[in-house]
Amino acid sequence: MFRDLFKPIFLRRLEALSIVCKKAALVSRKGGYVFVNKKGTSIEFADYQAYNPGDDFRYIDWNLYGRLDRLLVKTFKEEIELSVHILLDTSRSMLFPEGDRKFDFARKIALALSYIGLSNQNSTRVAALTSAHPEIRSGFHQTPFFQKPGGIFYMRDFVEKLNPSGEVDLVNFISRYTFENRDRKGSIVLISDFMIPPHSYKRTLDILRFKNYDIKVVQVLGPREIDPFKDIKSGEIVDVETKERKVVNVTAALKKKYYQQLEAHNEELKRYCHSIRVLYILARTDMDFESLILKELPKLGFVR
């Protein structure tokens, strides 16, 4: 189903976009690299900044001190590679409700963002948010990093073969993933339904903040998940990840409680993202996909 995923005109419009990295220390440029100002790296002079205790005396500009009576330290530009990490939720909940096709929609978002990264020569990877794979040396189910648009074919084949199952310990995954990729800083895009306890995604986002990643959150939900009670009066509900079963009668009070709790859950995720300056979008599977990528994501600052 992904063989002819995007139309040529859509791909050309993706090529005109770039993934935004808003970290204060990072300024992105064409070619997949960022400039970082560092004290005492002799690559290219950048600017001066005030001396702080502990700074190396060798980089104080004594001529300026003589004229201004201020201690100023030289900083230099160092060019480092900007990596883009597209992390795609492959827990079983992404397959349900079946009619919402959440996982297919999430895969399309992952591929579109990957193509934008590759078109800008950003070192880009797609990784499955899943339990550890003991048969894989790294423990992660992921693509290599690619920097050229041709890498999208490998990524397309990779996401096409993904089969969501089980639960994901998001905190554990992110802790391991950021350790393994500690030399590849840049942007991380989390694509998930985020149907997990708030303490889990909050701890995850806090880890990424501490590691100084630029973070973007894409929550994928469908209309049946948002309103699951249409034409249903009673039935058995099953937790798709834990297999727990429960018989329910669909009353007006139950509907109201469900809508309130879902809205509260989504609002808490959105509010927490905003409070820590993480970009967030709710991507509904009944949205027009091209409008989502070409209009909504640029409007929110995910891409430009």
This prediction has a pTM of 0.80
Averaged pLDDT score across all residues of the chain: 85
% pLDDT > 70, the chain: 82
**Residue 246 has what pLDDT?**
74
Same-domain pairing of 70 and 93: no
Q: What is the mean pLDDT of the segment spanning 149-163?
A: 95
Span 254-264, pLDDT tens digits: 889 999 999 99
- With a cut of 50, say whether residue 206 has pLDDT above it: yes
**Residue 139 has what pLDDT?**
73
Range of the domain at 52: 33-80
Same-domain pairing of 17 and 117: yes
Token pair 């986002």: residue: 205
* Within a domain: 3: no
Span 164-183, pLDDT tens digits: 998 889 999 999 999 999 88
- With a cut of 90, say whether residue 63 has pLDDT above it: no
Cα distances (Å, whole numbers) of residue 220 to 62, 85, 95, 261, 288: 56, 18, 11, 17, 13
Q: What is the mean pLDDT of the segment spanning 182-211?
A: 95
- With a cut of 70, say whether residue 241 has pLDDT above it: no
283 forms bridges with which residues in the sheet?
A: 220
- With a cut of 60, say whether residue 304 has pLDDT above it: yes
**Res. 238 pLDDT band, cuts 50 70 90:** low
Same-domain pairing of 45 and 171: no
Tally the domains of the chain. Answer: 2
Token pair 């990528």: residue: 293
Greater model confidence, 81 or 172 = 172
**Residue 101 has what pLDDT?**
96
Q: What is the mean pLDDT of the segment spanning 28-57?
A: 58
* Within a domain: 247: yes
**Residue 35 has what pLDDT?**
46
Distance CA 236, CA 245 (A): 7
Q: 304: which 2 tokens?
A: 């430009």
**Which helix or strand (DSSP H or E) is residue 85 part of?**
strand 83-89
* Within a domain: 289: yes
Same-domain pairing of 38 and 158: no
Greater model confidence, 60 or 15 = 15
SS (H, E, C) 242-282: CCCEEEEECCHHHHHHHHHHHHHHHHHHHHHHHHCCCEEEE
Same-domain pairing of 96 and 130: yes
Q: What is the mean pLDDT of the segment spanning 74-86?
A: 73
* Within a domain: 1: no
* Within a domain: 13: yes
Q: What is the mean pLDDT of the segment spanning 90-100?
A: 93
**Res. 26 pLDDT band, cuts 50 70 90:** very low
**Residue 71 has what pLDDT?**
86
Domain termination residue (choose one: 80, 96, 111) = 80
Distance CA 56, CA 4 (A): 56
**Residue 36 has what pLDDT?**
46
Q: 173: which 2 tokens?
A: 């995954």
Same-domain pairing of 39 and 177: no
Same-domain pairing of 15 and 131: yes
- Rounded to a whole number, what is the largest CA-CA distance in the chain? 83
- With a cut of 90, say whether residue 92 has pLDDT above it: yes
Distance CA 90, CA 17 (A): 27
Residue 147: which of 213, 83, 78 has the closest Cα? 83
Distance CA 248, CA 233 (A): 9
Q: What is the mean pLDDT of the segment spanning 74-99?
A: 83
- Please check whether residue 145 is in contact with residue 123, taking contact to mean a CB–CB distance below 8 angstroms: yes
- The 3-state DSSP composition of the chain as helix, strand, coil percent (nearest 5) reads 40, 25, 35
- With a cut of 90, say whether residue 73 has pLDDT above it: no
CATH number at residue 124: 3.40.50.410
Token pair 């995954």: residue: 173
Same-domain pairing of 75 and 186: no
